[in-house]
Structure 1
Amino acid sequence: MTPTYPPPDVARIQTRTLTLLFVTQILGGVGVAVGIAVGALLLEDLTGTSALAGLGQSSAVIGGALLAIPIVRVTGARGRRHGLVLAYASGVVGALLVAGALYLRSAPLAFVGMFLLGGGTAANLQARYAAADLAAPARRARQLSIVVWATTIGAVTGPSLAPLADDTLREQLSGPRYAGPFLASAVGFALAAVLLWTFLRPDPLRIARSLTDTGEAAPRASVGQGWREFRRNRTARLGVLAVALGHLVMVAVMAMTPIHIKHGMTDPDQVTTVVGVVLSLHIAGMYALSPVAGLLADRWGQRPVILLGIALLVAACATAGTAGHDHTRLAVGLVLLGLGWSCTMVAGSAMLTGAVPTDRRPGLQGLSDLTMGIAGALAGALSGFVVELAGYPWLALLAAITVLPVTVLVWRARDTGKGGTS
């Protein structure tokens, strides 16, 4: 009979893993959030148009998505430690390239840097699966959500630190506007990579595989292998779609909020501060209550929590889209947007992880991150053009409309049960 909880030695490894991931998520969260806070602003400054500013955010999202492909292969072959360090290393290089692009006034270099900066996002996302490798099924969503929650500290602090990093570099070294925050991102990613490389031993994925070893050769981890799981497993498919939906709506509205705020203000020195506060609250909504989403997913089942997330996303679009330039209402809308993302992310991730055996998880998880990234990249790319042509309220309306077809699929899907397995 399989025990409900891991044996004591595995439990200690899981506790150690969760603690390390908690710390590195804080560092990685700073790096990601700083880039989100000022990425659109610096690209509008370099290109002179808000449409291309949206494409910059899209570059980071699609970079994180495409980097999932080599990360999955490395993770499958060598374990979580190597995959996570590879992702953070990409983030370091990307942040340095963006900072260099500001010195050189090179928009193409900035786009390349934003693409590689997506590695930091990929690492933060893959870390939630590392937390689930050794988790008991009845606690999978909660333990996964703990790592998601840890990002709160770094992610909320990051946008607020952006003005400080910006002012420090400009005053002390006469650097260009917006370069300081990206140098801070590089430091955060580098520290996270060093800690993981040094202390993520033993590797949680390798331990999980040893506990479920059947003597058969494990399938080679790849996004293609994940696609085959997606096609034949209804529960896995629903989890992947839920995660992608939440990310699409979140990125579409969030990416253009800094530009919308900027267009309603006359003092450029105040724009970064206001954007930092609003996005800090948004990111708090994304991460701060994720353990609640995990607890509800374990107790109620994952499908109801996904539906709750969809309802919050629609409410967010309605609030932000009708806010005008009222910064308070925009902040409320962005908090709701973050909460909706959290519910779909935590419940969907737990659902797809529990839907397949351990040796097949990396491929499906990589496919989920790739799909999520493509959805977010599409949203980021189109959002700038929508705002340029029709305005921010129309962007919010269109984002809300995209929720409806997937809502029907989730509602009609059979309940996957509290454990999330089929």
Structure 2
Amino acid sequence: MISGSEDTIKNYIDSPSKLKKLYNHVLIVVSISQIFGGAGLAAGITVGALIAQQMLGTDAYAGVPTALFTLGSAGAALFVGRLSQRYGRRTGLATGFILGGLGAIGVVIAAMVNSVILLFASLLIYGAGTATNLQARYAGTDLANEKQRATAVSMTMVMTTFGAVAGPNLVNVMGEFAALIGVPSLAGPFILAAAAYILAGIVLFIMLRPDPLDIAKRIAAYKQQNEHENDSNPVDQKYNKRGLAVGATVMVLTQIVMVAIMTMTPVHMKHHGHGLGEVGVVIGFHIGSMYLPSLVTGVLVDKVGRTAMSIASGFTLLLAGLVAALAPSDSMILLVIALSLLGLGWNFGLISGTAQIVDSTESSTRAKVQGTLDVLIALAGASGGALSGMMMANTSYAALSLTGGLLSLVLIPVVIWSTSNKVKNKG
């Protein structure tokens, strides 16, 4: 049940400064949780494929861990979205992060007992942290106006950078720590992930009060009741559906391309003599590029527009694929550039797509719709992760990267179609 009296809601409506203070509080709390969440998600990205390669003895299934924790994040996205819609962001996000932490603990145990079945089951649960980390970006938009939405998303995402970049660069440290306590070194980053995800959940559960989605729903209901805004415009409803379709397509395509290339980069590097520390550096730059540009990206999406930044995403991902395909295997610099561009293209697509989703939903159904759409994103990532290993085993890393880059160009006609239809409706 949503907390807060009608008088309290009226105070937020009548006092923009009070609502802004709550909005800023929500951004701070979500940002703190994102620092921990970023560290948690980095473990699976950095060493997940290497653990599978070591335990299974083949590259063909090295993409399975990414596929599994991404598949797990699909189910978790639906669960967290519906839980948030019913009980608020605080309950939904805290539950998702704690489940992710329990999954990371399972991965550590699986590595200790050398159980592939337990590893795969734990990775599914670990995916809850990935889904929650992604859905937390929506919490910052609940109390934002239309001109603040992309910026609100970016402010929470940029804080993820601190944990996400630190995670891969602590691979060696956590590996040494794991060895000291009798745990396989590759499982070390998952010890960090377990602690980070559980801390993120605790921060949200304790500090995210009052709940932003609950307040947003009450404000919308109060305004509708008192201003009698019950009219329905069929054109607007159609445009909202189109906005959802375009926003989802942008995020799904960017996720497929990013996950496919990112997943197999550590395996490609290991084949060509790069150590775990070097893998950590490349993935660290990649994750930094996924999140660090967010503050600028959000402002650009709000100022320049969702359409322009979606197109920019497609071209940036194409460039990333080309550089990765053409880079000599021993060139750390070009691999860093390729993976940085890959992260940047994903960043453009995620923030512009998210803004379109928020624009096209109402607070009364927003979390549920967002959770459902994040399922598509997660399934896209699972597909990209699973197919990337098979494609690389049968072709090459260069072919995989080039294919991913070319696939990203599909974004451009989709966005142009959306713009042309929007202009027709206005005419």
CA contact (8 A) 1:5 1:136 kept: no
CA offset at residue 36 of structure 1? 1.1
Aligned residue runs from structure 1 range 114-129, under 5 A: 114-129=123-138
Instruction: Compare 191-200 and 396-405 and name the one that shifted more.
Output: 396-405
Equivalent of residue 385 in structure 1, options 390, 395, 398: 390
Q: Give the equivalent residue in structure 1 for 2:4.
A: none
Aligned pair 1:83/2:58, yes or no? Answer: no
Q: Give the equivalent residue in structure 2 for 1:61.
A: 70
CA contact (8 A) 2:310 2:411 kept: no
What is the one-letter code of the residue matched to 1:398?
T
Equivalent-residue separation in structure 2 for 1:271 and 1:381 (angstroms): 24
Equivalent-residue separation in structure 1 for 2:181 and 2:303 (angstroms): 53
Equivalent-residue separation in structure 1 for 2:364 and 2:306 (angstroms): 22
Aligned residue runs from structure 1 range 171-190, under 5 A: 172-190=180-198
Aligned residue runs from structure 1 range 203-218, under 5 A: 203-213=211-221
Deviations 1:77-98 (A, max 9, x none): 1000111011111111110110
Aligned residue runs from structure 1 range 7-406, under 5 A: 7-170=16-179, 172-213=180-221, 233-265=241-273, 271-325=275-329, 326-406=331-411
Deviations 1:376-410 (A, max 9, x none): 11010000001101010110121122223332111
Equivalent-residue separation in structure 1 for 2:364 and 2:298 (angstroms): 23
Equivalent-residue separation in structure 2 for 1:207 and 1:232 (angstroms): 23
CA contact (8 A) 2:55 2:116 kept: yes
Q: Give the equivalent residue in structure 2 for 1:226.
A: none
Shift in alpha-carbon separation, 1:164–1:69, aligned structure 2, 3 A: same
Shift in alpha-carbon separation, 1:199–1:248, aligned structure 2, 3 A: same
CA offset at residue 216 of structure 1? 8.5
Equivalent-residue separation in structure 2 for 1:233 and 1:276 (angstroms): 41
Equivalent-residue separation in structure 2 for 1:232 and 1:138 (angstroms): 17
Shift in alpha-carbon separation, 1:4–1:302, aligned structure 2, 3 A: farther
Unaligned 5+ runs, structure 2:
1-11, 226-236, 423-427
Q: Give the equivalent residue in structure 2 for 1:225.
A: none
Max Rg structure = 2
Equivalent-residue separation in structure 2 for 1:230 and 1:415 (angstroms): 14
Equivalent-residue separation in structure 1 for 2:420 and 2:304 (angstroms): 10
| Runs of 4+ with deviation above 4 angstroms | 3-6, 214-217, 229-232
Equivalent-residue separation in structure 2 for 1:261 and 1:231 (angstroms): 45
Deviations 1:244-292 (A, max 9, x none): 1111110010000000000001xxxx62101100000001111111111
TM-score, L = length of structure 2: 0.90
Shift in alpha-carbon separation, 1:149–1:128, aligned structure 2, 3 A: same
TM-score, L = length of structure 1: 0.91
CA offset at residue 373 of structure 1? 0.6
Shift in alpha-carbon separation, 1:413–1:285, aligned structure 2, 3 A: same
CA RMSD of aligned residues (A): 2.1
Question: Which secondary structure state, in structure 2, belongs to the residue aligned with residue 108 of structure 1?
Answer: helix
Equivalent-residue separation in structure 2 for 1:369 and 1:56 (angstroms): 19
CA offset at residue 412 of structure 1? 2.5
CA offset at residue 4 of structure 1? 11
CA contact (8 A) 1:231 1:237 kept: no
What is the one-letter code of the residue matched to 1:94?
G
What is the one-letter code of the residue matched to 1:79?
G
Deviations 1:119-153 (A, max 9, x none): 11111111110000001211111011100111100
